[in-house]
Amino acid sequence: MKSGEKNGSARRHKKTEWVKHFFIVAILAVEFLPFYMMIQISLKDNHIFLENTWLPSPPSTWVWQNYADAFRLIIPYVANTVVVAVSSTVLGLALSILAAYFFARYRMPFGGIIWSGFLVLMLLPGVANIVPLFNLLKSLGLLNTLWALIALGIAGSQVFAIFVLRNFIEDIPRDLFEAAEMDGASHLQQLWSVVIPMSAPIIGTLAILKFLGSWNDFLMPLLVLRDPQLFTIGVGLIYLDGEYVKQWGLIMASFFVASLPLIILFLFMMKLFIRGLSNGALKG
């Protein structure tokens, strides 16, 4: 009798589990629709696309030419974007870590004032100063260069990164710093041997977020870059999308190629990414 009851409730549990799985899979399936459309259209030419928009075409008719063209078209843009995204991520985070260490190590005189100065900046809407920013870049002679984007990338999320890192570094046990100091470690050495190993997960998460932001940016590149050779992916895709007769297959293949570096990045960092976002993101 008792075991029968148990079985019954276990079966009921199974059933509710399936309901949950069903809903999750349904939502995720719709979420993947853009991805699916991109992949399957990327292998069609306009003729096949018009006849059959929805289903993947049979492998024998796949138009690999789309990818050949897309690579030729997009790779220079990808290269430019990689340069901008990597340099602004690495340099930007390096500056943030230094600054966060300053705030978190000791309460230095004037530290409080500088801190509030930084925080005010979080309230300033970026959109309000886009016009003077454009003029600043013009007078610095940075218009139509990748340096402009790198500089903006470094400055861009500086405050947010310092904010998050400071909280993290403050949680590192003080003893570690003191022990390092006993051994005669300078501040830079302490930074290198204590702070960076201890806060690696959050640094990784911040790096990914910064890299993604840089990768997706198109407003500043659109304003700054004129020379097609310097186009980043954002600008490049806007021009591609604006063409009069649209080769949907080619466009989708280009979209896919533009996503490739992120796909590779993701494959390597998946674990770090999910852990960082689930645990570290809200520590600040």
Partner 1 sequence: MVPSVSNRKALLEWKLYLFIVPSLLVVAVFCYYPAISAIYHSFFRWSGGDTQEFVGLKNFKDALSDGVFWSSFITIGILIVANLFKMIPSIFLAVLIHRLKSDRMQYWYRVILVLPMIVPGLVTLFIWKFFFDPNFGTLNGILQATHLDTLLATLDSYFHWGVFQEGVPTAWLGQPSLIIPSLIIWGFPWIGAVGVLIFLAGLQSIGTEVYEAAELDGVNPLQKFLYIEFPLILTQVRLSLVLLMIGTLQGYGLQFLLLGESGGPGGRGMVPGLWMFNRAFVAGEFGYGCALGMFLFVFVLLLTWINNKFVRISK
Our finding on whether 173 is near partner 1 (CB under 8 A) is no
- Of these, 49, 67, 163, 168, which contacts partner 1 (CB under 8 A)? 49
Residue 187 found at the interface with partner 1 (CB under 8 A): yes
* 102 touches partner 1 (CB under 8 A): yes
- Exposed e or buried b per residue across 92-110, where buried means at least 16 C-beta atoms within 10 angstroms of its C-beta: bbeebbebbbbbbbeeeee
- The verdict on 114 binding partner 1 (CB under 8 A) reads yes
Subset of 124-143 contacting partner 1 (CB under 8 A): 124-136
Instruction: Decide if residue 210 touches partner 1 (CB under 8 A).
Output: no
Residue closer to partner 1, measured from CB, 60 or 95: 95
User: For 127, which DSSP code?
Assistant: G
Q: Rounded to an integer, what distance in angstroms lies between the CA atom of residue 21 and that of residue 17? A: 6
In this structure, the chain runs to a length of 284
Contact between 184 and partner 1 by CB under 8 A: the answer reads: no
Q: Which region among 50-58, 65-73, 196-204 touches partner 1 (by CB under 8 A)?
A: 50-58
State the Cα–Cα distance between residues 277 and 280, nearest whole angstrom: 6
Q: How far is CA 211 from CA 17, 108, 142, 162, 216, in A?
A: 37, 32, 22, 16, 9
Dihedral, 60, 66, 69, 75 alpha carbons, nearest 10:
-110
Q: Does 34 bind partner 1 (CB under 8 A)?
A: yes
- The dihedral over CA atoms of 80, 86, 91, 92, expressed in degrees to the nearest 10, equals 100
User: What's the closest the beta carbon of residue 3 comes to partner 1, in angstroms?
Assistant: 19
- Rounded to a whole number of angstroms, the minimum distance from the CB of residue 50 to partner 1 is 7
Q: Which of residues 219-278 bind partner 1 (CB under 8 A)?
A: 219, 223, 233-234, 237-238, 241, 248, 251-252, 255, 258-259, 262-263, 265-266, 270, 273-274, 277-278
Number of other CB atoms surrounding residue 163 within 10 Å? 18
CB 56 within 8 A of CB 169: no
- Window 55-94: residues binding partner 1 (CB under 8 A): none
Nearer to partner 1 by Cβ, of 60 and 175: the residue is 175
Q: Which amino acid is at 61?
A: T
For partner 1, which residue of 75, 119, 121, 179 counts as binding (CB under 8 A)? 121
Answer yes or no whether residue 179 interacts with partner 1 by CB under 8 A.
no
17 interacts with partner 1 by CB under 8 A: yes
Q: How far is the CB of 146 from partner 1 (least distance, A)?
A: 15
Going by C-alpha positions, the residue among 159, 171, 150, 132 that lies closest to residue 84 is: 150
Q: Is 282 in the site for partner 1 (CB under 8 A)?
A: yes
CA-atom Rg of the chain in angstroms: 25
